Structure formats: structure tokens, C-alpha cells
Amino acid sequence: MRCCVVDDEPLAARLIASYIDKTPFMELTGVYSSAREAVKCIVAGEVDVAYLDIRMPQLDGIEFARLVPDSVQVVFITAYSDYAVEAFRVGASDYLLKPVSFDEFSASARRLYSRYNRPRSDEPVETANADGRILVKSKQGMEQIDTANILVVEGLKDYVKIHMADRNSAVVMLSSMRVIEKHLPENSFLRVHRSFIVNTRRITRLDRQKVVVGDREIPVGESYRPKLAEYIAAHLPAE
């Protein structure tokens, strides 16, 4: 796996870089002191794993993670424990607290490698049929879902939660946002964030910063704003 380290603390960055060099299935592609330095190679998909500090100048790790493609696994390495929930909301694969020992790093790296090599042929969802229904493999078994009743699809680590209008609890499945996005009807679903896909027919309010679906406010990621702007322009009444 191609890995990079983004940390404004040189000693911490060098330590993680040395761990990567010691790990047989990892290759160090770069060490950066700021997210702005790393953004080009990461957004271009030139790495498989990005190790990010959180508190950095100009662009912090949480904000930067929202720009990272789904194909890149993000691991936060920080001295602060109070960002963990937010980190996983933006799709983090792991969250390690400094100082990180080599044993902790190795255990995390093996989990990343397992996901990296996970077979992709047995996809846990089938493309929507003519009736707008998809068949998904959830924890309860195979379930048929009417896409018209989907409110929001939320990605969290290795799982996807499908929030429904006709169910009290979400449908949880082991999958990725990339996989489920591919199978949803393009004309009624819009990716607005690394961790969120919304049913456009369920939107009640929206602007460049957020989309409201039912009683939920969904943030709009910076890299997804052009697509949202296209959607708005296409659905404004003609003058």
C-alpha cells in the first residue's frame, strides 16, 4: 500500500514514516508538513493510505479528510482524543493517539491491509430495478429496499447506514459509499459529502453549506459543491 504522512511536527512525522518503512506491505511515498502540500497527490489518488495529524495550520486534518477520495484510507494520528467521533464521521479508517508505538501502528496497518485486499466481486448491493428497488445484504440478511423511501445514505468507516422514511432504524451493511452510489438511481440521488448521499426528492432546504432532509442537516463537502450547484441550476424555474 502506498502511504504518506501529513504532520507539522517533524519528529512525529519521521516516527510514522519509520514505521511505514519497517512494514513489508507498505511503501512511503511522501512526508508533508501541511495538508496544502499533500493535497495534490492525495486527491489525485496517488496514495492508498494517508496518515493525518488533526491540528495543523491553514487546513486541519478533519477538513482535509473531506477532500480525500473514497479510494484513500485515512488514519488520524493525534494527541487529542476529543476529535474521534468527528473523525469517523468524515470516513476515517482508524484513529491513533500519540505517542504511537510500533505495535499499535502494526495492528492498525494489518486492519488497513485487510480492507485493501478485500475481494470486491461479491458486491453487497444490486442495481435498482425498474421498480426502483435494490437488494442489499445487511446484518439481518438480504433485504429489498424501495429507493424512494431512502432519505440519506451515511458512510461510517467500513459500514454504510441507509436511513429510511418508513423505518425507525437504519439499514446497516458492510460496504462502501462508492459501491452503493454506483447502484442508486442517478436521477434522484446526489453525493454531497464524502460521508453522505441524499435523496434529492426528500430535500426540503439547501444552500452551498448544507442540505436539509427531513429533520437532518447534512453538511456539503467543498469538493461536492460544484455538483450541488449544477443540481440547483438544473431545477430552478425558467424565467
Mean pLDDT confidence for 143-169: 88
Where are the domains positioned within the chain? 2-116, 133-235
- Its pTM stands at 0.55
Q: Which CATH architecture has domain 2-116?
A: 3-Layer(aba) Sandwich (3.40)
Buried-exposed string 9-48: b where 16+ CB fall within 10 A, e elsewhere: eeebbebbbebbeebeebebbbbbbbbebbbebbeeeebb
Hey, what CATH class is 133-235 in? mainly beta
Higher pLDDT pick, 70 / 5 = 5
Q: Which of 53-57, 100-104, 235-239 has the lowest mean pLDDT?
A: 235-239
**Can you give the pLDDT at residue 193?**
92
Residue 130: pLDDT band by 50, 70, 90 thresholds? low
Higher pLDDT pick, 227 / 57 = 227
112 CB-near residues (< 8 Å, 6+ apart): 1, 49, 73, 75, 93, 94
Mean pLDDT confidence for 77-99: 89
The set of cell numbers assigned to 155 is 458512510
Whether the Cβ atoms of residue 154 and residue 161 lie closer than 8 Å to each other: yes
**Can you give the pLDDT at residue 121?**
43
**Can you give the pLDDT at residue 218?**
94
Q: Give the closest residue to 213 by CA, choosing from 232, 235, 196.
A: 196
Residues of the chain with pLDDT > 70: what percent? 92
Average pLDDT, the chain: 86
Read off the pLDDT of residues 65-77 as tens digits, 9 standing for 90 and up: 888 877 789 999 9
**Can you give the pLDDT at residue 28?**
94
Q: Give the closest residue to 199 by CA, choosing from 170, 162, 155.
A: 162
Q: Which of 21-25, 189-193, 221-225 has the lowest mean pLDDT?
A: 221-225
Read off the pLDDT of residues 101-121 as tens digits, 9 standing for 90 and up: 999 999 999 999 887 776 444
**Can you give the pLDDT at residue 99?**
92
Whether the Cβ atoms of residue 96 and residue 105 lie closer than 8 Å to each other: yes
Higher pLDDT pick, 155 / 237 = 155
**Can you give the pLDDT at residue 140?**
66
Mean pLDDT confidence for 44-62: 86
Mean pLDDT confidence for 84-92: 86
Alpha-carbon 52 to chain mean position: 14
Q: What CA–CA distance (Å, rounded) separates 67 from 90?
A: 10
Whether the Cβ atoms of residue 132 and residue 148 lie closer than 8 Å to each other: yes
